[in-house]
């Protein structure tokens, strides 16, 4: 089984833990975990190059409404795990007016989060700022540091890097607890139908990986260091604490309400989404089975 994750964000910790702790193997899976950009994840899934794509719900929904027969089995980040940061020169939200704000791509999770965050601080995303697609989260951080953009959403541990360079937080979206699907596991419906045991083993592994991370901070940070290629204990600790406290659930149930915010924003430019029912692409039976067997304990 080939599994992709779209950004280097702690959302993926349950998957990383399952891989590094040998949980996938214990559950009978040989899993190759790859970092594939969110814009390429769905095409790779449709082409049969991977079996599971972990990426944003907005990308998943946009593909589904265009005919991709996809199933979401689990959602590791059911809230927006972002803070909106700006350099020291942007002292108040009003200072953002006329400036450039970066997102990964139009319609991406970071784009949705940005369009939700800006009005909360009195900024109209369509009139007051110029929103630029700069690629991945890593590209966005680099663009912020270089001054190419003057604001954007980020997550720990990148927030630590930015704060060291004088950036500060204008708004923390996670504090709102708004339902979202910023990290969902999506598969082809045909694959789910023909590989139910493998799909269940995958979801079991994610739930067990999450449980292990929750119980063993030291082990989780060790895994995070490997994937982030970092030896910064403080930054890894900040990221761990943020995601464990505010973002990651013990049981990653997919719920229709997690797609509402993205649907409302994307539907402004896509008529098909206005009548789209996100529930039709969700299957919570695999998480429920894991819960019934107490795998989150």
Helix, strand, coil percentages for the chain (3-state, nearest 5): 50, 20, 30
pLDDT for position 176: 85
Q: Phi and psi (nearest 5°) for 287?
A: -65, -40
Q: Do the domains 83-176 and 2-79+179-292 match in fold?
A: yes
User: What does DSSP assign to residue 68?
Assistant: -
Pairing mode of beta strands 32-35, 152-154: unpaired
Residues 6+ apart with CB under 8 A from 46: 63, 68, 188
Residue in this structure with the two tokens 């970066």, named with its chain if needed: 102
Residues of the chain with pLDDT under 50: none
Closest CA to 18 of 1, 41, 39: 1
Closest CA to 114 of 100, 40, 32, 47: 100
User: What does DSSP assign to residue 249?
Assistant: -
Top CATH class, 83-176: alpha beta
10 Å CB burial of residue 275 (0-12, 13-18, 19+) is: exposed
For residues 7, 102, 225, 210, the Cα torsion angle rounded to the nearest 10 degrees is -50
The rounded distance, in Å, linking the Cα atoms of 266 and 66 is 13
Homologous superfamily (CATH) of 2-79+179-292 is Periplasmic binding protein-like II (3.40.190.10)
Look up residue 47 and give its two tokens: 């082409």
Closest CA to 292 of 214, 202, 207: 207
Look up residue 173 and give its two tokens: 């979206």
Residue in this structure with the two tokens 């023909």, named with its chain if needed: 194
pLDDT for position 101: 97
Per-residue pLDDT of 157-193, as tens digits, reads 999 999 999 999 999 999 988 899 999 999 999 999 9
Strand order in the sheet with 130-133: 130-133, 100-103, 152-154, 83-86, 168-172
In the chain, domain spans? 2-79+179-292, 83-176
């Amino acid at each position: 089984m080939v599994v992709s994750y779209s950004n280097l964000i702690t959302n993926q910790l349950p998957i990383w833990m399952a891989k590094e702790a040998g949980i996938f193997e214990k559950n009978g899976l040989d899993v190759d975990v790859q970092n594939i950009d969110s814009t390429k994840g769905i095409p790779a899934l449709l082409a049969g190059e991977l079996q599971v794509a972990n990426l944003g719900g907005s990308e998943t929904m946009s593909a589904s409404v265009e005919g991709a027969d996809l199933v979401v089995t689990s959602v590791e980040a059911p809230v927006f795990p972002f803070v909106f940061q700006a350099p020291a020169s942007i002292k108040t939200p009003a200072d953002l007016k006329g400036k450039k704000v970066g997102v990964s791509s139009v319609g991406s999770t970071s784009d949705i989060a940005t369009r939700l965050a800006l009005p909360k601080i009195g900024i109209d995303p369509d009139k007051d700022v110029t929103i630029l697609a700069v690629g991945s989260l890593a590209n966005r951080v680099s663009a912020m540091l270089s001054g190419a953009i003057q604001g954007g959403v980020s997550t720990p541990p990148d927030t630590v890097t930015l704060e060291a360079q004088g950036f500060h937080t204008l708004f923390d979206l996670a504090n709102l607890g708004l339902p979202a699907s910023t990290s969902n596991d999506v598969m082809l419906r045909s694959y789910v139908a023909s590989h139910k045991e493998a799909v269940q083993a995958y979801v079991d592994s994610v739930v067990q990986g999450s449980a292990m991370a929750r119980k063993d901070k030291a082990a989780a940070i060790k895994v995070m260091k490997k994937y982030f290629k970092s030896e910064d204990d403080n930054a890894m600790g900040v990221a761990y604490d943020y995601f464990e406290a505010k973002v990651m659930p013990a049981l990653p149930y997919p719920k229709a309400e997690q797609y509402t915010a993205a649907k409302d924003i994307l539907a402004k430019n896509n008529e098909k989404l206005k009548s789209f029912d996100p529930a039709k692409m969700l299957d919570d039976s695999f998480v429920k089975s894991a819960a019934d067997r107490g795998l989150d304990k």
